[in-house]
Amino acid sequence: MITTEESYHLSNLKTLEAESIGIIREVAAEFDNPVMLYSVGKDSSVMTHLAIKAFYPKKVPFPLLHIDTGYKFPEMYEFRDEYTRKNGLELRVHRNEGALERGVNPLSVGTVKCCAELKTKALLDALKEGGYDAAFGGARRDEEKSRAKERIYSFRDKHGQWNPKNQKPELWNLFNSKIDQGESIRVFPLSNWTELDIWTYIYHEKIDIVPLYFAKERPVIEKNGQLIPVYTDEYEDEVRDVMCRFRTLGCHYCTGAVRSEADTLERIIEEMMVARHSERITRVIDHDQDSSMEQKKREGYF
């Protein structure tokens, strides 16, 4: 029987889905102790959804790990606990308690140091303590210029560092999983997805996301052109209510909202289709210095 291409067509989203599921299963099969980093954002929602699909009808065979800076939005903690419970996912949380006790926050030590302590160090410590040999992350190549250079299997040395000049060639879908004791691989199953793909997939699959992504009136202050939400009384600036939403979620100190009326998935997607700014423009930490993301990644950050 001669088969035609048309009768076996897979849509763009279904192709991306199949590719990601293939990657997730490959890691589960080849590594002894994998973990999936869960940051509670929209990409995390999609990545965990794909993991659930990959092993259906059984449970996801690895835990989720949330690197908690302690300064995430309250809505994120609430969502995290409900989402993982509902989907039968095992959640582990790690915080750099020492730094938090010392009162480290972006206002006290600046964003660069704060990230280094609460994110990078916390992550590296958690990976080491857990003895994880592979860690999934939801990063996409369209997010940022140094991420466009990432392999799907990204090798990290004993210190969790990335060396962009010495990445292993990655051919077809044959991934090299060989590492020595103490080394690890960061795995990015969403590498080939775009922000629009993520939203369209969330819409089609009816995936739960944190309500902060939907527009509503929120108290904010305006700082360096960013709309920073108000969750503490540490700010002295003028607070006002603005109709806004978040395109990306991080710590509430460092994540700006965008003015928007998009209060449904359809309206968010419409907004995405005409967006003229990148999603990471609202991430204060990306603009610390030129190559700031690359520098963080070299040191062990995602």
Partner 1 sequence: MSSESLIEQSQNIDLLRFATAGSVDDGKSTLIGRLLHDSKSIFEDQLHTIKTFSRTHRNQEIDYSLVTDGLKSEREQGITIDVAYRFFSTPKRRFIIADTPGHEQYTRNMATGASNASLALILIDARNGVVTQTKRHSFISSLLGIRNFVIAVNKMDLVDYSEEVFENIVNEFNAFADKLSDESVYYIPISALEGDNVIERSENMPWYKGSTLLDYLENVNVSCGRNLNDFRFPVQYVNWGGGDDFRGYCGTIASGVVHKGDKIRVLPSGKTSTVSRIVTYDGDLDYAFSPMAVTLCLEDDIDISRSDMIAKVDDLPAIAGSFEANIVWMDNTPMEIGKDYLIKHTTSMVKGNFEEVIHEFDPDDISMKSSQSLGLNSIGKVKVELKSPVFADIYSENRATGSFIVIDPHTNQTAAAGMVTKYKQVSPDKGCKSVKARVISYPADKKEEAKAKYDRLSMHGTHCIYVDDDLLKETLCKGKPVDVGQYSEMIENLCKIVTKSGVSVVICSDHFKS
The binder of partner 1 chosen from 95, 100, 275, 288 (CB under 8 A): 275
E-strand stretches of the chain: 34-37, 64-67, 91-94, 134-136, 153-156, 184-187, 216-223, 226-229, 240-245, 258-259
> Does residue number 172 form part of the binding site for partner 1 (CB under 8 A)?
yes
> Binding to partner 1 by residue 276, rule CB under 8 A?
yes
Element (H, E) at 50: helix 42-55
Q: Does 17 bind partner 1 (CB under 8 A)?
A: yes
Q: Residue 10 to residues 5, 15, 49, 239: CA-CA distances in angstroms?
A: 10, 6, 19, 49
Q: How far is the CB of 73 from partner 1 (least distance, A)?
A: 23
Pairing of strands 64-67, 34-37: parallel
Task: Report the site for partner 1 in 210-269 (rule: CB under 8 A).
Answer: 266-267, 269
18 and 10 Cβ atoms separated by less than 8 Å: yes
Backbone angles phi, psi at 200, to 5 degrees: -65, -35
DSSP code string of 252-266: TTTB-BEE----SHH
Write down the least CB distance from residue 146 to partner 1, Å: 5
Question: Does 142 interact with partner 1 (rule: CB under 8 A)?
Answer: yes
Gap between the Cα atoms of 202 and 208, Å rounded: 8
Report, in Å, the least distance between residue 54 CB and partner 1: 7
* 291 Rama class: left (phi>0) / alpha (psi -120 to 50) / beta: left
Which stretch, 70-78, 86-94, 110-118, 192-200, contacts partner 1 (CB under 8 A)? 192-200
Beta carbon nearer to partner 1, 103 or 169: 169
Judged by beta carbon, residue 23 or residue 244, the one nearer partner 1 is 23
Of the residues 33, 161, 232, 291, which one makes contact with partner 1 according to CB under 8 A? 291
Footprint on this chain of partner 1 (rule: CB under 8 A): 3, 5, 8, 10-15, 17-19, 21-22, 25-26, 28-29, 52-59, 141-142, 144-149, 164-165, 167-176, 178-180, 191-192, 194, 196, 200, 203, 266-267, 269-270, 273, 275-278, 281, 290-291, 294-295
